[in-house]
Structure 1
């Protein structure tokens, strides 16, 4: 009995030590959700935002565009990319020698979508929105550690993504909007190139994404506010949480906070 207890205790201790000295590889990082919050025909949006994960050091940006074609139908498009995005881990051996491991991320994607928006209150201060779309891009992970196959490690892939996003937008005034949204995202990884062997892929939890799509449920809260003197300009902020569903074993960024600027070029032209 004692030998069994010693075995389990040793296994747990070794597992904790090994995991504490291993940098995660995050297969997924959520993009900034596109929430136009339209109320009528001919409204437009050009939004530039930067986001940072609340845990880790991955930063990203998004440039978004949207246009209300009718009083109830709109088109959307966006380009997403990485800013300074890397994780570092510094370890020291018994002799005092320190080693810094670095894992870098380079993710880019384009997306296109369309949706509807309808008032659900008589005063037209509350709108229901439903958007969906498709995105594609790349997902590159590189590190400065030597792999079992030799050379620095890398895992590069192409991505394709479908999303479905219902939301409610509250417009209590002309210059303020608050929108809770819920995005469902399905992402797949193809054309994978890596020099990690199967043991490393399993350790970094990258093995299963070659055969399975990842499905995320992503609640978000977006707010924007502007000024009477410039109704075509607003400051926009957003908070997101990502939750992986299913049994796929992988690491992912679970949240971000973003802030940016929102322009309505059509309204700006009319104002002039």
Structure 2
């Protein structure tokens, strides 16, 4: 009578290593970047005549970190106004606020954490606009403005008792100035479309934080010494306003902005922002 041979445990190693490799290739330990700056949507006035008033309420959608599953996972609000004090000069004001949240490494309890951001900013500007063709359909405008802003970054671990770090916070203020030339096509019955080429210079203030200096200098953080030099960004924007009423007083806003760093040391910044909202022009003649 033949007896079955005992199963060799060594034969299990090959499939076990295959399973381990499969899971390790699916679950990565991701770097957690700290974003020092996120652009707000611009205020594109699109004024063309004296006493014209534009009031606008919008929501914004910003990108998350590259390791997040949702490309545009951060949201905000953007309120703005513009008024033409003459047939060629206008003034604007805007306020923006946003909440951002990036989650990292949910598959690793000891490393799972969230970095949350609260940002707010305000802007005022003045500028010049003029028609460049006889039919007054094509306009050039250029505005210069100033605004203060604030950032608050809060890092927290899901299971702080098992983590090697306890997270932290980083708060700072900033001031910005900008110049914003644009070319705008006005077709009241169809749409208004503009391309704005904004250049923004930002100067950060002294931060309040409980991060150690070595953490601030870390390659995934890069928040050390933000206040030591200004940062310049080029921020082109494509804007559409589609009339929702016969006289063009109510319009749907659609905008996309991209932010490119031009100067300053290498830090983490958001790059893209989308805007959707409504503009009302109660004093419009058309």
TM-score when normalising by structure 2: 0.80
Are residues 1:170 and 2:185 paired?
Answer: yes
The residue that corresponds to 2:133 in the other structure is 121
Name the CA distance, whole Å, in 1 between partners of 2:247 and 2:77.
24
Are residues 1:44 and 2:56 paired?
Answer: no
Shift in Å at residue 193 of structure 1? Answer: 0.4
Q: What's the secondary structure of 1:200's corresponding residue?
A: helix
The residue that corresponds to 1:182 in the other structure is 197
Name the CA distance, whole Å, in 1 between partners of 2:231 and 2:264.
10
The residue that corresponds to 2:95 in the other structure is 79
Shift in Å at residue 149 of structure 1? Answer: 12
The residue that corresponds to 1:214 in the other structure is 231
Name the CA distance, whole Å, in 2 between partners of 1:227 and 1:109.
29
Contact 1:208/1:250 (<8 A) preserved: no
- Give the number of aligned pairs: 246
Contact 2:55/2:281 (<8 A) preserved: yes
The residue that corresponds to 1:192 in the other structure is 207
Name the CA distance, whole Å, in 2 between partners of 1:91 and 1:32.
31
TM-score when normalising by structure 1: 0.84
Q: What's the secondary structure of 2:248's corresponding residue?
A: strand
Name the CA distance, whole Å, in 2 between partners of 1:253 and 1:41.
37
Shift in Å at residue 228 of structure 1? Answer: 4.3
Shift in Å at residue 231 of structure 1? Answer: 2.2
Q: What's the secondary structure of 1:265's corresponding residue?
A: coil
Name the CA distance, whole Å, in 1 between partners of 2:107 and 2:35.
24
- Structure with more of its chain in helix, by fraction: 1
Name the CA distance, whole Å, in 2 between partners of 1:59 and 1:112.
22
Contact 1:149/1:195 (<8 A) preserved: no
**CA RMSD, aligned part only?**
2.2
Contact 2:102/2:115 (<8 A) preserved: yes
Alignment of 1:25-40 (within 5 A): 25-40=34-49
The residue that corresponds to 1:264 in the other structure is 281
Shift in Å at residue 69 of structure 1? Answer: 0.5
Q: What's the secondary structure of 2:32's corresponding residue?
A: coil
Q: What's the secondary structure of 1:124's corresponding residue?
A: coil
Shift in Å at residue 152 of structure 1? Answer: 3.5
Are residues 1:239 and 2:256 paired?
Answer: yes
Q: Unpaired segments of 5 or more residues in structure 1?
A: 1-18
Are residues 1:156 and 2:171 paired?
Answer: yes
Contact 2:232/2:264 (<8 A) preserved: no
| Structure having the higher Rg | 2
Name the CA distance, whole Å, in 2 between partners of 1:208 and 1:191.
8
